[in-house]
Amino acid sequence: MNTVPLALQAAQQWCLSRGEKLTDSRREVLAMLLQAGGPLKAYDILASLQKAKPTAAPPTVYRALDFLVSMGLVHRLESLNAFVACEHGLTPHHQGVLLICQRCHQVTEVAGTASMRQLQQDAAAAQFTITAHELEIKGVCHACQQEATA
């Protein structure tokens, strides 16, 4: 079953409920990330867009990505300089933890609720206010571990 159309429809409603629009270019970028099933770099997204729209330019992609990140639909992976669709759907104040395989770059998102709560408590104890975060943890995924032992 292809869940991309359902995810795009949910994203459309999410944006509308916040007074924002999921424009065609934003929708196309989100669809690419959903279909990829893993991280994509902005210029890879641009190259794909240019196949259908040769005039597509980097600012279009970066604006779309900035919007999608701000809406919580996409995560920016600082360590990979890439983007990945959010796996946990559209929930207010969503705080995911991104597990990144150092070998294959597969990204798995876990809720991390307890760990994020602890980080917020530790920050408050240090009189520090967290204003934004994307917690990335690097390691080796199960598939790569199995491959290494084979």
For the annotated binding site for Zn(2+), the residues are 101, 104, 141, 144
In total, the chain counts a number of residues equal to 150
Mean pLDDT of 10-21: 94
**Average confidence score pLDDT of the chain:** 90
Considering the domain delimited by 4-85, tell me its CATH architecture: Orthogonal Bundle (1.10)
For the annotated binding site for Fe cation, the residues are 93, 133
pLDDT computed for residue 134 by the predictor: 77
CATH 3.30.1490.190, the chain: domain bounds = 97-148
CB atoms within 10 A of CB 92: 6
Question: pLDDT band for position 132 (50/70/90)?
Answer: confident
pLDDT one-digit tens code per residue, 17-61 = 999 999 999 999 999 999 998 899 999 999 999 999 999 999 999
CATH 1.10.10.10, the chain: domain bounds = 4-85
pLDDT computed for residue 3 by the predictor: 87
Strand runs (DSSP E) across 22-116, as ranges? 74-77, 82-85, 97-101, 107-110
Exposed e or buried b per residue across 4-42, where buried means at least 16 C-beta atoms within 10 angstroms of its C-beta:
eeebbeebeebbeeeeeebeebbbbbbbbbbebeebbeb
The fold for domain 97-148 equals Dna Ligase; domain 1 (3.30.1490)
pLDDT computed for residue 89 by the predictor: 64
What's the predicted TM-score (pTM) here? 0.84
For the annotated binding site, the residues are 93, 101, 104, 133, 141, 144
DSSP 8-state class, residue 40: B
Q: Mark out the alpha helices in 71-149 (DSSP H runs).
A: 113-125, 142-149
